[in-house]
Amino acid sequence: MKYFPRSLDVFDDMFDGFFPKEPVYNTSVMKTDVYEKDGYYNLDIELPGYAKEDVQMDLVDGYLNIKATHNMSNEEKDAKGNLIRSERRFGTCSRSFYVGENIKAEDVKAKFDNGILNIVLPSKEQKSIETKQTVTIE
């Protein structure tokens, strides 16, 4: 085997850090503030660039699952109709919060405004409910 000094090992230097050796988690997506007020939990989730229609919430086995999907395509053409630029952006992010198996979908209030999803749900246990329910976002 031939030894190359580090300065000549171009391929290692070129791709160093490009392919992560460990999983990378994007902690900047769905930043959430959780606080309790007057017997209710309030969650403020940042979803910049997403629209209300991009967000879906479900209650499944005591977990509040939130998923946001964003698809954007931008094409620019010249006067003759030739493609000059084409950009696409697709993304999905999700979070789950354990809220208890006794929370009903009608107990959860959600509002999406200006890139912030605000969720309010009771902090006290309630009677048993079915396993999967969809939560409506106002």
Could you tell me the pLDDT band of residue 23, with boundaries at 50, 70 and 90? very low
By DSSP bridging, strand 116-122 and strand 132-135 are: unpaired
| Predicted local confidence at residue 84, as pLDDT | 73
pLDDT band at 12, cuts 50/70/90?
low
Q: Which fold has domain 36-135?
A: Immunoglobulin-like (2.60.40)
Residue ranges of domains in the chain: 36-135
How does pLDDT run across 51-68, given as a tens digit for each residue? 899 999 999 988 999 999
Q: How high is the pLDDT of residue 6? A: 52
